[in-house]
Amino acid sequence: MQIIHTVAEFRRWRETAGAVAFVPTMGNLHAGHLALVRTAAQHAPDVAASIFVNRLQFGQGEDFDRYPRTLDEDAAKLRDAGVAVLFAPDEAELYPRVAQHYQVEPPHLQNELCGAFRPGHFRGVATVVAKLFNIVRPDVACFGKKDYQQLMIVQGMVRDLDMAVRIVPVDTGRDTDGLALSSRNRYLSPDERAEAPRLYRVLRRVADALRGGACDYAALERQAAAELSAHGWTVDYVEIREADTLNIARVGMARLVVLAAARLGQTRLIDNVEAFSNGAALAV
């Protein structure tokens, strides 16, 4: 596996490569990231990964400075997974003018759900993903469904800006007790880690109710949030949305997704569960 730190060197590598599948990450890799790599390998002969902790998507008071930087360990995992090239630029390389004067502005969705609690976050995500797509020029890029809102925004950006890359969604990796894999799980205390799978269980119950024909969405959302709050969570939101667009859900829609963000102590966790009216409720 080659490790490349500059845009110019990566572009030289790309000139001689064939079809490329791309997995962008912020590092501190876990089994969920490696599942993205395995999926990417099914779509192109060469897999490229990136590791870059993107300052633009962290808000004031968030964990940019303490976000784990584990490049050597991450590179070993990617090498073992069969990645052909790792692009690992530093901040000066990717943002050489310090301020990124031109940014990608997503539509109103960026200010809803997680965006309501993290102003500017999805602008930062869209901007860095657009830059990486311009550098890597992948044929395929794999994104996990755990951050469902991010996936929808990236898909919309690619569609509206006619980017020549196909986005492949990948189901969320989970621990044996159902907790969605996340780099931030390491911040949980032992007691918080034991409580954390409740988020997935609560969302599954909402999805099951939807599958069973429940249509009082507001009541389902309130009940789910109340259960989390009763067990020590600070709930940002629990919402039922239309799965293909994240528009506000209306009764009769065939494809729904239940999304939530909540804190245990200082750790903010997100998760979601898809619910389809044909009777199949799928965890993502």
Structure tokens at 70: 């584990």
243 within some domain = yes
Element (H, E) at 22: strand 20-25
89 within some domain = yes
Q: What is the pLDDT of residue 62?
A: 83
Q: What is the pLDDT of residue 284?
A: 43
Report angle CA 17, 19, 24 to the nearest 5 degrees: 95
Among 125, 143, 170, identify where a domain stops: 170
Which residue's entry shows tokens 């993502």?
Answer: 284
The CATH number given to whatever domain includes residue 228 is 3.30.1300.10
Same domain, 145 and 37: yes
Answer yes or no: is 50 a known binding residue.
no
Same domain, 140 and 262: no
Same domain, 98 and 158: yes
Answer yes or no: is 231 a known binding residue.
no
Cβ neighbours for 282, distance < 8 A, ≥ 6 positions apart: 171, 273, 274, 276
Q: What is the pLDDT of residue 222?
A: 98
Parent domain of 256: 183-276
Among 170, 196, 225, identify where a domain stops: 170
Same domain, 209 and 156: no
59 within some domain = yes
Distance from the Cα of residue 155 to its chain's centroid: 12
Same domain, 70 and 146: yes
Same domain, 79 and 202: no
Structure tokens at 54: 């993107």
Q: What is the pLDDT of residue 279?
A: 40
Q: What is the pLDDT of residue 68?
A: 85
The CATH number given to whatever domain includes residue 10 is 3.40.50.620
Same domain, 75 and 148: yes
Pairwise CA distance, residues 119 & 131, whole Å: 20
Same domain, 39 and 137: yes
Same domain, 135 and 253: no
Answer yes or no: is 150 a known binding residue.
yes
Q: What is the pLDDT of residue 283?
A: 42
Same domain, 199 and 146: no
Same domain, 209 and 236: yes
Q: How many structural domains does the chain have?
A: 2
Q: What is the pLDDT of residue 98?
A: 73
Q: What is the pLDDT of residue 277?
A: 61
The reply to whether 231 belongs to the active site is no
Q: Which of 33, 101, 108, 121 is catalytic?
A: 33
Answer yes or no: is 149 a known binding residue.
no
34 within some domain = yes
Beta-strand runs (E) in 71-153 = 85-87, 140-144
Q: What is the pLDDT of residue 253?
A: 87
For the chain, 284 residues long, the average pLDDT of each consecutive 10-residue run is 98 97 96 97 98 92 85 97 98 88 95 96 97 98 98 98 98 97 94 98 97 95 98 98 95 93 96 76 42
**Which residue from 72, 87, 77, 69 is spatially nearest to 3, judged by alpha carbons?**
87
Answer yes or no: is 5 a known binding residue.
no
281 within some domain = no
